[in-house]
Structure 1
Amino acid sequence: QPGDVLRQPDLARTLRRIARDGRNGFYRGPTAEKIVATMKQGGGLITANDLARYEAVYRPPVTGTFDSLTVVSMGPPSSGGALLIHMLHMLEDLPLDSLGWNSSRYIHWLTEVERRAYADRAEHMGDPDFWEVPLSMLLSKAYARRRLATISPDTATPSTQVFAGDPASYESRETTHFSVVDQAGNAVSVTTTLNTSFGCGYVVDGAGFFLNNEMDDFAAKPGVPNIYGLVGAEANAIQPGKRPLSSMTPTVVLKDGRPWLVVGTPGGSTIITTVLQVILNCAVFHMDVQEAVSVPRVHSQWLPDVIMVEPRSLTRDVEANLQAMGHVIVPYVWGEIGQVNAIRITARGLEGGADVRGSNTAVGY
């Protein structure tokens, strides 16, 4: 109830072990023993040796440009940064401002671009330690223009006719995001996740935290969707030691070489398109950051072959125009798309944008 005090002594002891012993406070010793015991109770396969051998890997960010802005985001095994930049490259040559925000033409182009990006995601993206991800292709403006040229300005392309590009031809809901900028101008964008709400539903007994269900981010079977409706192929198949493909898209946008926008969100497969729309809202439609994160959003991801919408995101005329083009429009299954936390750096100082969709807060001190 509001006003109650939640005490988590098991979690406090876990955090103290990590503070005292670093990674060994989690991957070895009492915490690891508790994880393995909970795994055995639930029929899991992770052993003490698996935990002891685990190492975090530094991955370089991916970088692209949109007009005069430089976009820096997360690289594989997250698909977020590469797809975000790929979509921005496709949209860069379009007169988005004259189309008008959330007009039928704007939503049409946005949807068609997203379809092609997610088709590439399904076919080509996975853990780069196990799969040759064609990053040079996905980040190429020439490739983006070729993909854009396959879009009709007046007619929806059925997803059955949208195919991944050929690299041989070219070089949770239980997710949390925070954005931070300090007085020296350093900017941090961080996204973490359990995947879906409460992860796999198991709390590590005596340690005070949930186990994730990130296995759902693998392609368990080619062409079969996961909980977010995403399909995958061999690039994201399950293998020992492999990291699953993610949609997390923590992003810093630079203007004149300095941080201008720090942004990210939870939302599963909608994360990438949510960050895309917030950047466009700020850069193209000149919204302040609070408006940019709060206005209604839409989402498409190749399969299923629909435009998913929030309540009141489209006018009746816009919806009718899109349907006349061949688009199928459905309410987003969870109602709200994303919960963005963003900061924009201006000459006057910092603007915080906390999404009205959840218990998000902007704080300055």
Structure 2
Amino acid sequence: MRKRLIYLLIVIGIAGCTDRDLDERGLVTDQAMVVTAHPLASAVGADILRRGGNAVDAAIAVQFALAVVYPDAGNIGGGGFMVLRQQDGTVDALDYRERAPAAATRNMYLNEEGEVVENLSLKGHLAAGVPGTVAGMVQAHEKYGSMPWHELVQPAVVLAAKGFPLTEKEAQKLNEQRLDFIRYNPVRPGFILRDHWRAGDTLRLQDLANTLERIRDRGRAGFYEGPTAELLVAEMQRGGGIISMADLAAYEAVWREPLTAQLEDYRVISMPPPSSGGIALLQLLTISEDYPLDAWGWNTVASAHLMIEAEKRVYADRAKHLGDPAYYDVPVEALLDRSYIKSRMEGFSLEEETDSDLISAGVPAPAESPHTTHYSIVDPAGNAVSVTTTLNSSFGSKVFVAGAGFLLNNEMDDFSVKPGYPNSYGLIGGEANAIAPGKRMLSSMTPTILEKDGQLYMVIGAMGGSTIITTVYQIILNVTEHGFPMQGAVNAGRFHHQWKPDWVLSEWGGLGPRTSLELWWKGHKIVPKPSGGIGRAAGILVLPDGRLEGGADPRGDDAAAGF
């Protein structure tokens, strides 16, 4: 009885009202919009558009700027996904996800007893996959860029060399990571170590500026060959990592066909595997079609209960069927078959929750950190780009490449280091996502674009590890079903379920008192997100008059810029 009372008090606490305005309208512009995780990066992207660059040009400039001003997720030592829609309606998707080094082995993070060695896939040199960001930006520029390459990289060079003022949040994160930076770097990164950073302090990154200059002047070769590559491999050798010069030379980004689906009035365009985001999002939206969410209302008991139950089933499928399509036959068409998706809700009851132990991955018919960052861009011609990029955990592996000034990812943790063993986000994985040399690890990144009546309607994506998919899902419904403006949809409180563990993660204020209590009585276990909120999103909505509204997430330093 006492435990139930304590739990009830927790639920009531989670239910406290949010002070974020659901009716808030974000920045509205006539021609172009850039929304990123940092004001300086947004300004860089908007300046490229003012100078006549297109959405891909701006995306490249933003990617490199974020590597400087938002080092916990912006990167050149990580990877990501890009979804784009041209003004004429043609779509494309770029996979610049990291790959496992050639020396990687299936059981590389297990001890002699076959048990997972704590933190080995999360921190330090062995956690890093082969970076894909620079190759991805080069290939995006070769196919869609309009401005000279060096003009797109130069803003980041200037930011790194001259320095920039830290925001309060960024200063706090650097302070929190100080001991890990010392512990996991054989050569201490003196340029970022300080007893205490404060908001407004200037951070100068000369080694990173030098690396960016090589990329500016030599393109791909400025990173995957020559001094930068040699510094990266030397860092691996110092710290017991396994990325080699051959791994770097062999890396290629891959153009893929986006996943698309017509759902009521909207065409949804999202990322295919090795991202799980596109499949999971389309499954969730397809399930939602059958229920009157608009009549039920935002975060009411019925709406939240349905969404939670849908999320359980979709994440169960994710655990079994999704991985790198080059290594595993992902049954994409079967997983997106409407009859299959709708069959997953058999046994769903509006009256009570379904125990996750009673839900298994489906058997489709034969034909599969929370610290990312997302940016959305629309240029004056109507071209749109949705990009999610990451180091995985905050500041990745915590390893700086000595002499080159950039952080390495810890994306190897996104593999199933042991089938059935949860990763740092609690996600369960299986055979489809087992480690193999050269393989791309599964991701939850969900860069997405929506059309309405054949016209560009929304550009959306988020950071947040396993919560990315549910964040994007809820924001889309906030706009399409509940009529929120873009900023209000991003502001709105969020919740998340990923099948295992069997609980509903909720922001403080994410669910109202009545919804929280009634979900509790239905059997849902609700736990609070300790800090920072669930996901951080960047969205753009095309208004009926053709103007653009930006939605920048108040959970971070995110900002919209445009003209």
- Same fold flag (TM > 0.5): yes
1:271 corresponds to which of 443, 462, 468 = 468
Q: Which residue of 2 is the match for residue 330 of structure 1? A: 527
| Partner secondary structure for residue 319 of structure 1 | helix
Q: Tell me by how many angstroms 1:40 deviates.
A: 1.3
Q: Tell me by how many angstroms 1:181 deviates.
A: 0.5
Q: Which residue of 2 is the match for residue 258 of structure 1? A: 455
Residue 10 of structure 1 aligns with an amino acid whose one-letter code is D
Q: Is the contact between residue 119 and residue 164 of structure 1 (CA under 8 Å) also seen in structure 2?
A: yes
2:557 corresponds to which of 352, 359, 365 = 359
Distance 1:174 1:94 in 2: 33
Residue 559 of structure 2 aligns with an amino acid whose one-letter code is T
- The answer to whether structure 1 residue 76 and structure 2 residue 273 are counterparts is yes
- The answer to whether structure 1 residue 46 and structure 2 residue 237 are counterparts is no
- The answer to whether structure 1 residue 192 and structure 2 residue 389 are counterparts is yes
What percent identity do the matched residue pairs reach? Answer: 52
Unaligned runs of 5+ in 2: 1-197
Q: Which residue of 1 is the match for residue 418 of structure 2? A: 221
Distance 1:176 1:335 in 2: 14
Q: Which residue of 2 is the match for residue 203 of structure 1? A: 400
Q: Which residue of 1 is the match for residue 515 of structure 2? A: 318
Q: Which residue of 1 is the match for residue 207 of structure 2? A: 10
Q: Which residue of 1 is the match for residue 377 of structure 2? A: 180
Q: Is the contact between residue 370 and residue 467 of structure 2 (CA under 8 Å) also seen in structure 1?
A: no
Distance 1:150 1:345 in 2: 38
Q: Tell me by how many angstroms 1:56 deviates.
A: 1.2
Q: Which residue of 2 is the match for residue 150 of structure 1? A: 347
Distance 1:294 1:265 in 2: 13
Q: Tell me by how many angstroms 1:55 deviates.
A: 1.2
Residue 508 of structure 2 aligns with an amino acid whose one-letter code is P
Q: Is the contact between residue 282 and residue 289 of structure 1 (CA under 8 Å) also seen in structure 2?
A: yes
Q: Is the contact between residue 278 and residue 292 of structure 1 (CA under 8 Å) also seen in structure 2?
A: yes
| Partner secondary structure for residue 254 of structure 2 | coil
| Partner secondary structure for residue 362 of structure 1 | strand
| Partner secondary structure for residue 166 of structure 1 | coil
Residues 15-59 of structure 1 deviation map (CA, whole Å, 9 limit, x = unaligned): 111122221111111111111111111111111111111111112
Q: Which residue of 1 is the match for residue 548 of structure 2? A: 350
| Partner secondary structure for residue 189 of structure 1 | strand
Q: Is the contact between residue 422 and residue 428 of structure 2 (CA under 8 Å) also seen in structure 1?
A: yes
Q: Tell me by how many angstroms 1:315 deviates.
A: 2.2
Q: Tell me by how many angstroms 1:316 deviates.
A: 2.4
Residue 334 of structure 2 aligns with an amino acid whose one-letter code is M
Q: Is the contact between residue 344 and residue 351 of structure 1 (CA under 8 Å) also seen in structure 2?
A: yes
Q: Which residue of 2 is the match for residue 37 of structure 1? A: 234
Larger Rg: 2
| Partner secondary structure for residue 557 of structure 2 | coil
* TM-score, normalised with respect to structure 2: 0.64
Q: Tell me by how many angstroms 1:7 deviates.
A: 1.5
Residue 360 of structure 1 aligns with an amino acid whose one-letter code is D
Q: Which residue of 2 is the match for residue 104 of structure 1? A: 301
- The answer to whether structure 1 residue 301 and structure 2 residue 498 are counterparts is yes
Q: Tell me by how many angstroms 1:170 deviates.
A: 4.9
Q: Tell me by how many angstroms 1:173 deviates.
A: 3.0
Q: Which residue of 1 is the match for residue 319 of structure 2? A: 122
Quickly say closer, same or farther: Cα 1:92–1:364, change in 2 above 3 A.
same
Quickly say closer, same or farther: Cα 1:347–1:99, change in 2 above 3 A.
closer
Q: Tell me by how many angstroms 1:285 deviates.
A: 0.1
| Partner secondary structure for residue 178 of structure 1 | strand
Q: Tell me by how many angstroms 1:333 deviates.
A: 4.1
| Partner secondary structure for residue 136 of structure 1 | helix
Residue 307 of structure 1 aligns with an amino acid whose one-letter code is V
| Partner secondary structure for residue 176 of structure 1 | strand
Residue 473 of structure 2 aligns with an amino acid whose one-letter code is L
1:20 corresponds to which of 203, 217, 222 = 217
| Partner secondary structure for residue 540 of structure 2 | strand
Q: Is the contact between residue 294 and residue 356 of structure 1 (CA under 8 Å) also seen in structure 2?
A: yes
Q: Is the contact between residue 393 and residue 410 of structure 2 (CA under 8 Å) also seen in structure 1?
A: yes
Q: Is the contact between residue 551 and residue 560 of structure 2 (CA under 8 Å) also seen in structure 1?
A: yes
| Partner secondary structure for residue 548 of structure 2 | strand
Quickly say closer, same or farther: Cα 1:272–1:158, change in 2 above 3 A.
same
* TM-score, normalised with respect to structure 1: 0.97
| Partner secondary structure for residue 463 of structure 2 | coil
Q: Which residue of 2 is the match for residue 134 of structure 1? A: 331
Instruction: Indicate the RMSD between aligned Cα atoms, in angstroms.
Output: 1.1
Distance 1:334 1:56 in 2: 35
Q: Is the contact between residue 311 and residue 335 of structure 1 (CA under 8 Å) also seen in structure 2?
A: no
Q: Is the contact between residue 320 and residue 432 of structure 2 (CA under 8 Å) also seen in structure 1?
A: yes
Q: Tell me by how many angstroms 1:149 deviates.
A: 2.6
| Partner secondary structure for residue 2 of structure 1 | coil
- The answer to whether structure 1 residue 87 and structure 2 residue 281 are counterparts is no
Q: Is the contact between residue 83 and residue 138 of structure 1 (CA under 8 Å) also seen in structure 2?
A: no
Q: Tell me by how many angstroms 1:111 deviates.
A: 0.5
| Partner secondary structure for residue 261 of structure 1 | strand
Moved more, 143-152 or 248-257: 143-152
Q: Is the contact between residue 143 and residue 170 of structure 1 (CA under 8 Å) also seen in structure 2?
A: no
Q: How many residues align?
A: 364
Bigger relative contact order, structure 1 or 2, given CA contacts below 8 A and separation 6+? 2
Residue 310 of structure 2 aligns with an amino acid whose one-letter code is V
